[in-house]
Copies of this chain bind each other. A is one copy, B any other.
Amino acid sequence: MKVSLKDIANQLQLSKTTVSWVLSGKGDEKGISMATQEKVFVHARKMNYQPNLLARSLHTGQSGTIGLIIPEISDTFYSEIAQEVEAAAEKYGYSLMISGSGSQWEREERMIRLFRSRQVDGIVIAPTKQSRKEILHMINDSYPFVVVDRYFPELNTNYIIIDNEESSYKLVKHLIKKGHRKIAMLSVNSYLKSLSLREKGYLCALKDSGMEINPALCREVPFHNYKTNIFTILDEMYKQEPDIDAFFFTSHVLILEAFTYFYDNNININDTGLACIHDLSAFRVLAPRINTARMPVEQMGSEAVRILINEINQKQLKMKQLKKESIVLSCSLSYRE
């Protein structure tokens, strides 16, 4: 059923070489007669010939495929990243293989190995934490990859992050300016540099405004079971400090649960200052007055792919490795209160 180059060559009494050249657009360059070219095109079309890209890849050493590894495909933020990465990849003629690590580093390492085995030309990854072995392997093998959203300060890799500390600082400063005095912070995954920087932004904003740091107001929600943990933590916070007047969320993943808590406990969010790193479309109706730092998802995705393809091409041309790129993108801040 499936028709190959050889079939076409046989049927046309031509060599595979000729057919290959014509079909890959090198007909003129190689000086194949128009008559022959025409014959090949017509026949290929009639047979509905589709080249086996795997076979081509085996020869060229390029699969035309890149990999994306993220903690959770269905998370709003990461699914947007995926969308942008796929769109950007397509522009360069690349296809996308995707995989969710579920925030487990064993899975993540397995996925890196699998993708590399499948000859993916490069990887975009939002790593769960330092996946020691495989990240280091990629570095040692000078295998193209770029880290997004998170990064390893001590490793020399391409990475794209946001201005974590600055955006957080500004959001909290804004809450202070609006008169809030008991500003709580809710965080997750603070073992990740990106997240700890957001916490730092919060702390600095308070300090710079001469406000005291109240440990009861700075809480980290354990990621495991965070959906229930957050309820307990909010209970504890309100018990210790009933007059909390504002919240800074270091990540959007906590928002929906927190709001459920507020709703269940009749806490009027219109009286509470709110700020969050990243913007959810639901905020428009859910919390119109929340202040947000929107992560530039489009840029993160397209820049990641640009850097990756760049590195893939360098490698292909056997040029010596370029310097790694580290990009810090600014969030767009929306002060709505």
Residues of B within 8 A of A115 (CB): 95
* CB of A58 closer than 8 Å to a CB of B: yes
Are A97 and B100 interface neighbours, CB within 8 A?
no
Bound Cα distance from A64 to B56, whole angstroms: 17
Are B87 and A100 interface neighbours, CB within 8 A?
yes
* CB of A54 closer than 8 Å to a CB of B: yes
User: Contacts A65-B118, A137-B48, A260-B284; is A83 near B54 (CB within 8 Å)?
Assistant: no
* CB of A319 closer than 8 Å to a CB of B: no
User: Contacts A95-B97, A263-B288; is A63 near B73 (CB within 8 Å)?
Assistant: no
* CB of A98 closer than 8 Å to a CB of B: yes
The residue of chain B having its C-beta at the shortest distance from the C-beta of A51 within the complex is B117
Which of under 10, 10 to 19, 20 to 34, or 35 or more describes the interface residues of A? 35 or more
Residues of B within 8 A of A48 (CB): 137
Are B74 and A83 interface neighbours, CB within 8 A?
yes
Q: Per-position contact with B for A37-67: 1 when CB-CB < 8 Å, else 0?
A: 0000000000010111111011000011100
Bound Cα distance from A86 to B78, whole angstroms: 15
B1, B73, B90, B285: the one within 8 Å of A260 (CB)? B285
* CB of A216 closer than 8 Å to a CB of B: no
* CB of A245 closer than 8 Å to a CB of B: no
Are A53 and B117 interface neighbours, CB within 8 A?
yes
**How often does this chain occur in the complex, in copies?**
2
User: Contacts A54-B57, A256-B282, A285-B263; is A82 near B87 (CB within 8 Å)?
Assistant: no
B65, B72, B86, B280: the one within 8 Å of A83 (CB)? B72
The B-contacting residues of A in range 108-167, CB under 8 angstroms, are 113-119, 137, 141
B114, B119, B281, B284: the one within 8 Å of A54 (CB)? B119
Bound Cα distance from A313 to B83, whole angstroms: 31
Are B99 and A52 interface neighbours, CB within 8 A?
no
The B-contacting residues of A in range 219-264, CB under 8 angstroms, are 256, 259-260, 262-263
Residues of B within 8 A of A114 (CB): 95
* CB of A79 closer than 8 Å to a CB of B: yes
Residues of B within 8 A of A113 (CB): 50
* CB of A332 closer than 8 Å to a CB of B: no
Are A82 and B98 interface neighbours, CB within 8 A?
yes
Are B83 and A73 interface neighbours, CB within 8 A?
yes
Bound Cα distance from A69 to B76, whole angstroms: 18
B50, B76, B97: the one within 8 Å of A96 (CB)? B97
Nearest chain B CB to A96 CB, angstrom units: 6
Bound Cα distance from A80 to B73, whole angstroms: 7
* CB of A211 closer than 8 Å to a CB of B: no
Bound Cα distance from A1 to B141, whole angstroms: 7
Nearest chain B CB to A220 CB, angstrom units: 22
Additional A-B contacts beyond A50-B113, A82-B98, A95-B118 (17; CB < 8 A) = A52-B119, A53-B117, A54-B63, A58-B58, A73-B86, A74-B82, A74-B83, A76-B76, A86-B99, A90-B99, A95-B114, A95-B115, A96-B97, A263-B285, A282-B282, A282-B286, A285-B286
13 A-B contacts (beta carbon < 8 Å): A1-B141, A53-B118, A54-B118, A54-B119, A55-B58, A74-B76, A79-B79, A82-B82, A87-B100, A95-B114, A259-B284, A285-B286, A286-B286
